[in-house]
Amino acid sequence: MGGLQKKKFERGSATNYITRNRARKKLQLSLPDFRRLCILKGIYPHEPKHKKKVNKGSTAPRTFYLLKDIRFLLHEPIVGKFREYKIFVRKLKKAYGKTEWSAVERLRENKPTYKLDHIIKERYPTFIDALRDIDDALCMCFLFSTFARTGKCHVQTIQLCRRLTVEWMNYVIASRSLRKVFLSIKGIYYQAEVMGQLITWVVPYQFSHDHPVDVDYRVMATFTELYTTLLGFVSFRLYSSLNLVYPPKLDSNGESEPKEESEDDYAMNSESYLEKLSALSASLARVVSSADEEEAQLDQFPSEGEDMEKMEAREKELKQQEAQKKLFEGLKFYLNREVPRESLAFVIRCFGGQVSWDKSVCIGSTYDVTDETITHQIIDRPSVGKQYINRYYIQPQWLYDCVNAKILLPVEDYFLGVTLPPHLSPFVEEKEGDYVPPEKLKMMALQRGEKPGNEQEEDEEEEEEEEGEQEEEEEQEEDDNGDEEDDEEEVAEEKNLKKMEEQRSQDKSLHVKVTPGKLKVENKARLEQEEKAEEKRLAIMMMKKKEKYLYDKIMFGKKRKVREANKLAAKRKAHDDSEKAKKKKARK
């Protein structure tokens, strides 16, 4: 026997962790500074597995950090800057107290500042790393850019956030990388695909802030400080990848040049440039004046079997994406003043549409309401005074739904004063057997290229049209100047009806042509199916007892899911029917 007696808490997990206060003392920083440093350097508290061991026998709840992390922090040059800043504040206070204004001024001039560039490089060694973490940065910047310029945080920070968000939106427009949009009650969710990374961010609605009290603004501001730097470097890289000038400049020889007249009324000279950029209506200048962009083609590799199938699927997807990118190309939109301008302009421009608005709403409008070539006017009010025949008056939801559906949806459901179909979330992906809302089914059918031509639906549509007329009549009673609008509505409806008829007739002719060919295909398919079914049955028969039990269980689960989905669908139908009946009753 012999040797030294082992003491408690001198080895093992007790030595691997350090409490927050001890770490703070080790770094000689105040708590806010320590917090800021940890956020900037990406060092987070850690929950030890055995708290009692780490806490030296005590079970009091404490915040722990890994000792090695704190040791790493000791080498950070910014720590010195924090200390300098502390001293600067002390000196400034003293000078103020003594009312030595010249000293105050001198100190102010030499205020110690620091840069986060090296931290960004250290935390995100490659560009892709940074891109993966950009979600947070975007959310934060969009959030801060909507803040009022009051005392909650530095005005400069807000301005910088605004600049960065505008740059980001311009990049997304230029690269046409927006994929999904979702209008929620909280804010607008966007998803873009940038360099193969799916990036999601949320933008609050404008002017919707009541500042919550239990949020630590200092912590949020620190995160923003880091994220603005990150986003700046990322957007520089993104711009250079597209051969765009950074900081962004408006393309001076673009065909849609913003009007110059109202600039002075709208913004100060110093701000007007950013404002024009943030109008999103003009395209950006390129470093190399735009030569025709080469269509990215998928590399062809000689491959066999399943790989081929996969390749084909991917190619198809790519084609679809390309088509989606040009969704609004050739369309000309006009935004009424009551719709959210920035969001809509962003979405329209992301898919190649042209957009304008009233001069007094924002800088950078490109054409007036009176322009005859406008195809769609986005409007969100029960009625309009003067209507043009050659354009659709639609509600803003149509745009968002089109983006999510990746096709141009029929306009009829989104006309003025029509009850809108539900706005579905594009972020849900239904698995097999889940309940799918009928609206989504309809959309999927449209995506596949089928036209909703069922008799029932026709009936419904007719009914809806009737309803529309009824509503219009009601409106007529209310409004004195509803006549014109009614006429125009009718005209538009007639047009639509004609169109639909034409389509139907085309469909019929097509059917006649196609049927003989189709039959064969069906036969083949059926044969294949039968073969497959047979194989499956045989496989089931060959199963072991245990496996069969499992298989039965799985199948039962699936069936149950389907049953539930069917139940929901039936419920929905009943609900719809009852609604319809109610409406009819109300009419009578």
Partner 1 sequence: MILTFENLSSNMAAARRLKRVAISQPGFLTLNPKVTPTDLVSSRRKRVNKNKKKNWNKYSDVQDVEEFLEDLVNLKFCFLCEEAAEPVKGKKRKGKSSRPLRIDLILQHDSLVAPPKDVLAYQKPNAKKLRRTAERAEKLAANGVVPRSKKRLLNRTVVDRMSKKTETEANNNPERDFYDIWGQETKDLGEPWYLQQTRKKLVKRPEKLNEKPSVLPAVEVIAPGGSYNPDFFSHQELLREAHEVELKKKKVEDKLERQLAYNKADTATEETILREQVEGLVEESEEEEEKDAPKEDGEEVAVGAIAVADKKTERQRKREKAEKMKEQQRLTERRQTEQQQQLFQLRSIKTSIKQQEETTQIRQKRRKAKEEAQKAQPRRLGKLKFQPQDMEVQLSDELAGSLRQLKPEGSVLMDRFKSLQKRNLIEPRERAKFKRRLKVKYVEKRAFKEIS
Interface with partner 1 in residues 487-526 (CB under 8 A)? none
| In contact, 268 and 275? CB cutoff 8 Å | no
The residue from 70, 95, 139, 409 that contacts partner 1 (CB under 8 A) is: 139
C-alpha–C-alpha distance, residues 29 and 66, integer Å? 17
Is residue 296 a contact point for partner 1 (CB under 8 A)? no
Is residue 204 a contact point for partner 1 (CB under 8 A)? yes
Determine how many CB atoms are found less than 10 A away from the CB of residue 543.
13
Is residue 108 a contact point for partner 1 (CB under 8 A)? no
C-alpha–C-alpha distance, residues 184 and 4, integer Å? 66
One-letter-per-residue 3-state SS of 429-495: CCCCCCCCCHHHHHHHHHHHCCCCCCHHHHHHHHHHHHHHHHHHHHHHHHCCCCHHHHHHHHHHHHH
Binding mask 27-46 for partner 1 (x = CB under 8 A): --------x---x--xxxxx
Span from 132-140, 169-177, 261-269, 287-295 in contact with partner 1 (CB under 8 A): 132-140
Nearest to partner 1 of 124, 357 (CB atom) = 124
Our measurement of the distance from residue 439's CA atom to the centroid of its chain's CA atoms, rounded to an integer in Å, reads 21
The least CB distance from residue 180 to partner 1, in Å, is 9
The residue from 6, 102, 214, 304 that contacts partner 1 (CB under 8 A) is: 214
Is residue 212 a contact point for partner 1 (CB under 8 A)? yes
| In contact, 341 and 361? CB cutoff 8 Å | yes
C-alpha–C-alpha distance, residues 246 and 281, integer Å? 18
The least CB distance from residue 189 to partner 1, in Å, is 5
CA distances from 301 to 86, 235, 313, 334 (A): 62, 33, 14, 46
Is residue 419 a contact point for partner 1 (CB under 8 A)? yes
The least CB distance from residue 563 to partner 1, in Å, is 16
Is residue 196 a contact point for partner 1 (CB under 8 A)? no
DSSP tag of 24? H
The residue from 26, 83, 86, 237 that contacts partner 1 (CB under 8 A) is: 237
Taking the alpha carbons at both ends of the chain, their separation in whole angstroms is 102
Is residue 420 a contact point for partner 1 (CB under 8 A)? yes
Binding mask 338-367 for partner 1 (x = CB under 8 A): xxx---------------------------
Applying CB under 8 A, the site for partner 1 has a residue count of 106
Is residue 215 a contact point for partner 1 (CB under 8 A)? yes
| In contact, 486 and 476? CB cutoff 8 Å | yes
Is residue 209 a contact point for partner 1 (CB under 8 A)? yes
Element (H, E) at 18: strand 17-19
Q: In 42-147, which residue ranges form alpha helices assigned H by DSSP?
A: 51-54, 67-73, 77-97, 101-109, 117-123, 127-132, 134-145
Nearest to partner 1 of 119, 367 (CB atom) = 119
The residue from 160, 173, 279, 327 that contacts partner 1 (CB under 8 A) is: 160
CA distances from 470 to 189, 363, 415, 480 (A): 36, 40, 15, 16
Is residue 273 a contact point for partner 1 (CB under 8 A)? no
Residue closest to 39 by CA, chosen among 88, 73, 84: 73
The residue from 1, 185, 268, 538 that contacts partner 1 (CB under 8 A) is: 185
The residue from 13, 16, 159, 243 that contacts partner 1 (CB under 8 A) is: 159
The residue from 13, 22, 136, 197 that contacts partner 1 (CB under 8 A) is: 136
Is residue 553 a contact point for partner 1 (CB under 8 A)? no
| In contact, 502 and 444? CB cutoff 8 Å | no
The least CB distance from residue 403 to partner 1, in Å, is 14
∠ CA(541), CA(544), CA(548), 5° rounding?
A: 70
The least CB distance from residue 396 to partner 1, in Å, is 5
Nearest to partner 1 of 210, 299 (CB atom) = 210
The least CB distance from residue 240 to partner 1, in Å, is 7
Span from 357-365, 500-508, 529-537, 570-578 in contact with partner 1 (CB under 8 A): 570-578
Phi, psi torsion values for 254, nearest 5 degrees: -70, 155
| In contact, 317 and 362? CB cutoff 8 Å | no
C-alpha–C-alpha distance, residues 360 and 348, integer Å? 20
Residue type for position 97: G
The least CB distance from residue 523 to partner 1, in Å, is 39
Span from 111-119, 256-264, 287-295, 488-496 in contact with partner 1 (CB under 8 A): 111-119
> Site residues for partner 1, window 47-86 (CB under 8 A)?
47, 61-63, 68-69, 72, 75, 77
The residue from 232, 248, 364, 468 that contacts partner 1 (CB under 8 A) is: 232
The least CB distance from residue 199 to partner 1, in Å, is 9
Is residue 233 a contact point for partner 1 (CB under 8 A)? yes
Q: Residue 404 in 3-state DSSP?
A: helix
Q: Which residue has the tokens 């496989």?
A: 539
The residue from 140, 166, 409, 443 that contacts partner 1 (CB under 8 A) is: 140
Is residue 91 a contact point for partner 1 (CB under 8 A)? no
Nearest to partner 1 of 31, 527 (CB atom) = 31
Span from 195-203, 254-262, 449-457, 546-554 in contact with partner 1 (CB under 8 A): 195-203
> Site residues for partner 1, window 523-552 (CB under 8 A)?
none
> Site residues for partner 1, window 375-414 (CB under 8 A)?
380-381, 395-397
Peptide bond into 516 cis (omega under 30): no
The residue from 246, 273, 388, 551 that contacts partner 1 (CB under 8 A) is: 246
Residue closest to 247 by CA, chosen among 134, 175, 171, 180: 171
